[in-house]
Structure 1
């Protein structure tokens, strides 16, 4: 077996390998992001009026553009803000509807109660003594109380709007809860049955009332009168059910903008499902929020207005109020490995509506 000891061939091999590596890395320039070139101006800057669209004209074609209008809660300067230094006032409002309620059983009853606590520890163990009832109309309990939905006639009641000032909690962390507390139904079924003491009265429903809650808003006002609204029951309030006394745990639901209490109790007799007429206890179910901080705030996010799929030469936005606004455009070029970003700002003078 012969061995090649020619040093020239080894050197040539090393040179070939170096050339191959150089070609490989040159073919996929990971740092070769195209530099960002972008300009913006306001079309007809002297004729911008509240309620009418303003047109921004662009020069350049970046990969991505995000837009901050400069209006309240849409400011580039607040992109990293998570805390409000000061809260001027705090308020709570909601709407509710009660239905499928026998007025013989529930006329005038305050089944729905709105509770607040700054001592509850979030453990899931509900002690009513730790909670304050905002809907208690007793002046000794609440100087200003929050109205609840009350059955006055028929079998349905509506509460279009109710609100209360919570400014005494504006510098405290607290929990909020909706409490469903209903006494037993009489149990007389609806198929033509009448009450012995009043033969003319018939019963329409077998279970306790259903209550729906909508339009819930926790409103924080800053000293400059800017309003920050918390209203998503799932993402922001994070309500979860807690069953203090309830034989059933179905039909108590919460979605982003609504909540429902609809207790339905059934028994099986001779293979058939029928309404449980032995409701011999007070049902007590709570929907409890996460800990809420009046000084916490979501950062201003801005609006993505362009991706890589199309060229964008102009963009329109409508300001509802007159004033001076700083519109901000975050402009980015990016590839798989790298990105370059610049910020462009333009002042918009918005005149009163014509």
Structure 2
């Protein structure tokens, strides 16, 4: 009798388990896009192209990826822009002073500067001198013209370090011993990048100025068009102790960019929910495009409960004239 009871218990358990499985079983969603039409519409705020997508569906949930920026199905799990080329250029001039301009002025990059713009943190960082990559053959104290310093690739540094700060460094030693500072001015600085996602674009350097040492006020500056780098000025015959100290002082002016990174995480692209559980069956969906071009449109259909999830999707390319 005990054996019979055990057998009945096993059969009951199997039946109960099977019943629960059946309760949470879901069907495969059905989605079939039959085509689309385009209509030009004046919304009162401008002309848009209204696209009507026609389809057959049997599903609980439908999401729509329009193919516009920020709504592309291929980036649903994330999007990373990677710099594949990086070129830096600027115009430079001197035209004043006694010292060799290149004994004072240099172009440097740091892979480990922490972004705190003060003497301690600048001096504790590693700075790699890349001045010799640029063309300064015309940079002299006798030439007051702005001349191009070349278009220089920094991609090897980006590939090696993954990120860095770019800087102009200007150091003026004791002018009684070394002569009058060589004034440096820069214009038309431009860092151009090309990424896997967006093609070529200018990088925002967001330059910051740091002065180190006993500087007179107003010696260095960054404007929208010109970077000015100078030492202290003064009368070398003066007996004024303050002015003597200014001319004796070793000073540094740093113009440092924000961190430039090889990879920029742009996050995930998102869909537009167009049908939820309990909503009526859909036969079409309308979306308005503001810009012409080719778009890869994706409809994602799914059936789901707390234990199961089944999905299907269809993608089509459309051309908006």
Q: Give the structure-2-normalised TM-score.
A: 0.51
* Residues 225 and 151 (structure 1), Cα distance of their counterparts in 2 relative to 1, 3 Å cut: same
CA distance in structure 1 between the partners assigned to 2:198 and 2:214 by the alignment: 44
User: 2:83 pairs with 87, 93, 101, which one?
Assistant: 87
* Residues 275 and 246 (structure 1), Cα distance of their counterparts in 2 relative to 1, 3 Å cut: closer
1:256 has 2:249 as partner: no
Q: Number of paired residues?
A: 210
CA distance in structure 2 between the partners assigned to 1:294 and 1:257 by the alignment: 27
1:189-238 C-alpha deviation (Å, 9 max, x unpaired): xxxxxxxxxxxxxxxxx9633322222222222358921211xxxxx322
1:169 has 2:163 as partner: no
CA distance in structure 2 between the partners assigned to 1:246 and 1:160 by the alignment: 32
Q: Is the 8 A contact 1:126 1:244 kept in 2?
A: no
CA distance in structure 1 between the partners assigned to 2:234 and 2:48 by the alignment: 54
Higher helix share: 2
CA distance in structure 2 between the partners assigned to 1:65 and 1:182 by the alignment: 60
Higher strand share: 2
Which runs of 5 or more structure 2 residues have no equivalent in the other structure? 1-37, 50-66, 268-290, 296-317
TM-superposed deviation, 1:180: 1.0
Pairs within 5 Å for 1:74-223: 76-77=68-69, 84-99=80-95, 101-102=96-97, 105-107=98-100, 109-123=102-116, 124=118, 125-127=121-123, 130-135=126-131, 137=132, 145-148=133-136, 151-152=139-140, 154=142, 156=144, 158-171=146-159, 172-186=162-176, 208-223=181-196
CA RMSD of aligned residues (A): 4.4
Q: Give the structure-1-normalised TM-score.
A: 0.47
TM-superposed deviation, 1:155: 5.1
* Residues 121 and 175 (structure 1), Cα distance of their counterparts in 2 relative to 1, 3 Å cut: same
Q: Is the 8 A contact 1:214 1:257 kept in 2?
A: yes
* Residues 170 and 285 (structure 1), Cα distance of their counterparts in 2 relative to 1, 3 Å cut: same
TM-superposed deviation, 1:275: 7.3
Which runs of 5 or more structure 1 residues have no equivalent in the other structure? 1-37, 41-58, 68-74, 138-144, 189-205, 231-235, 300-316, 318-323, 328-344, 349-354
1:62 is matched with: 44
